[in-house]
Amino acid sequence: MASLLDLRRRIRSVKNIQQITRAMKMIAAGRLRRAQEEAMQARPYSEALRDIVSNLAQRMGERSHPLLEPREEKRVLLVVVTGDKGLCGSFNTNVIRRTTKEIAGFEEVELLLLGNRASEFFKRREIPIRDSYTSIFSGVDADTAQEIASDISAAFTDGEYDAVYVVYNQFVSVLRQDLKLERLLPLQSVGGDGEAQAVEGSEYIFEPAPSDILEAVVESYVGSQIFRVLLESQASEHAARMTAMDSATRNAGELIDSLTLSYNRSRQTAITTELIEVVSGAQALQG
């Protein structure tokens, strides 16, 4: 049985941890509110741009632009999006586990790592890495997303890869984040595999010609998708961290109650033992 001093130290230690987890929960909740708003605001633009590109691709044909050209998927670039920090439950672990599973299904694969956790994990593995962006979530901005998109688009156009996929967590609610595997390139037109369907009844009048618009819009589309993925992942990370820290705070409270009960029992046992010794000594003196 632990001594009273050990129990007091453990109670004090757990209380300190509880204060930290409670503070981290409040910080994550504050950041989540803003990240959720940014993710929700990015969705309509991204979806509308996707519909426009799909409509243009349908009119011009899949081979009207290099980024629309379907190829046999032999060499694949896998974009892995994790967080920069831990203490967010299984948020990072799920992405890494899914990535490892998907790697086995491709003939030849290379990784583009977004986030410290992905970089730290895969740099110790014998898997080709194109590039890694660390501390990217300290300030997600459209310029960084466009830089990443330009690099990916140029590599695909030059024939370095036959397809580009992204693995990330999509924000649904505070308690739910869906793990997604989406194809970024080649872009999918209406009537492809059904993932990029245009809204029914949507008709656009194009000025200038659709071919000119397609040339200008395609790369912006890739950048918008990368930006949306980063915002979705950022909101998911804050939500996962808030949930994990809330659970940790409750668990710490339960542990404190359990340790306090053990401490009180041990203290009562010690007091009872001392009383018995005093009474026994008094009786021995009287005898």
Give the active site residues. 88
Q: Report whether 111 contacts 80 (CB < 8 A).
A: yes
Write the secondary structure of 239-268 as one string of H (helix), E (strand) and C (coil).
HHHHHHHHHHHHHHHHHHHHHHHHHHHHHH
Asked whether 65 and 151 are in contact (CB, 8 A), the reply is no
Question: Quick one: which of 230, 66, 58 has its CA closest to 162?
Answer: 66
Q: What is the CA angle 234-52-202, rounded to 5? A: 115
Give the chain's count of helices (H) and strands (E): 5, 5
Spatial separation of the C-alpha atoms in residues 149 and 161, rounded to whole Å? 14
| Cα Rg, the chain, nearest whole Å | 28
Task: Please tell me what DSSP assigns to residue 66.
Answer: G
Kindly state the tokens that stand for 21.
């987890």
Q: How far is Cα 27 from Cα 1, in angstroms, rounded to an integer?
A: 38
- Inter-helix orientation angle 91-103/210-286, to 10°: 130
CB 35 within 8 A of CB 242: no
